[in-house]
Amino acid sequence: MNARISAMMCLLCVLGAADLIRAEDPYSQRVADPYALSSGLPTMSSGTLEPYFSIMAGVAIPFSQDATFQDGTLPTVVPNVDYQMKHSWGGSAGVWFPTRNKLWGFDLGMELTGYVWYPDVACCRDFFNNDPTGANNGGNPNNGTTTEADGVYVGPNFLIRYPMAISESYPNGRWHPYVGIGVGAHQMGMKPGGFRGGTLINANTTQRDTTIGFQGVGGIKVHLFKYVAAFAEAKYLYAHHNGLSSDRFGQSPPGSLGLGPPGPFVNPYSSTINTVLVHAGLSFHFDWKP
């Protein structure tokens, strides 16, 4: 019996020593530090890079803004034009650089993001898309139209995140709150009255203007599975446009499939676009060793 106990103790000692050697081996999967294979402090090229792409959908909540008309029609300024809250959707693709040990627990990242939204102006906002007097519309008052609009933003974001619930294997954090800033191109497409003014030979009535857009973003992402994460984020978008348009007096004739009269009638104006967008979606991540 004593011999058997002695043999078992020896076996346990051997196994324990081997396990300790594996734990100290930087190539062992038991090593919690993802930068154990890197020499010195981690840099943006050390550790496991994390490419990803995302899909998202949500709502856009634009602020009311003044419209300043540029064609000499009066009144020149229409205050507090109510751009409507509508749905929004888009996607992004980017990469995270795990550098948190060097940056006090933070990772750096960058992405290219794009989304669309629909800030229509409902009928009938006096002197923006409706003439309440009829003085500018052949004596026909209140012949207003909805001004349909779509916004498109495309640009890079520069991000920083804080991994939480660190694990030994990828992903090295289960929860990731993050913030970022970006600059890109913002385009507004305006359709005064939808198809109003369109004919068989003039079907496209969209008036488009593109300018620089600035945005800030903040959100949180949680890994549901190893390579799949859910996220929710809020964006603030700022852009100033000088080439927007509306049929401010409702002068465009109804659309038709015939030749019809020319149209649409559009009045150019400038306006600042301030919008909060709330998106949720899924992202798909990959671990890649450089």
End-to-end CA distance of the chain: 55
Buried (b) or exposed (e) across 8-31, using 16+ Cβ within 10 A? Answer: eeeeeeeeeeeeeeeeeeeeeeeb
Give CA separation, 169 vs 30, 161, 286, in Å: 8, 18, 13
Report CA dihedral (193, 195, 196, 197) to the nearest 10 degrees.
130
All domains in the chain, ordered by first residue: 49-285 (2.40.160.20)
| Single pTM value for the model | 0.80
Q: Which two tokens stand for residue 17?
A: 């020593």
Q: What is the Cβ-side half-sphere exposure of residue 183, based on CA atoms within 13 angstroms?
A: 2
**Rounded Cα distance, 155 and 209, in Å:** 16
Residues in the chain: 290
Helices (runs of H) and strands (runs of E) counted in the chain: 1, 10
**Rounded Cα distance, 241 and 222, in Å:** 37
> Look-up: residue for tokens 């991540």?
285
> Look-up: residue for tokens 């190539």?
27
Give CA separation, 162 vs 98, 117, 176, 179, 215, in Å: 10, 29, 6, 9, 20
DSSP string, 163-210: -BS--SSSSS-SEEEEEEEEEEEEEEEEEETTTTT-BTTB----EEEE
**Rounded Cα distance, 190 and 83, in Å:** 12
Collect the ranges in the chain with pLDDT lower than 70.
Answer: 1-47, 99-104, 168, 200, 202-204, 258-262, 290
Burial of 60 (0-12, 13-18, 19+ CB in 10 A): buried
Q: Which two tokens stand for residue 238?
A: 């700022």
Instruction: Return the pLDDT at 149.
Output: 95
Burial of 288 (0-12, 13-18, 19+ CB in 10 A): exposed
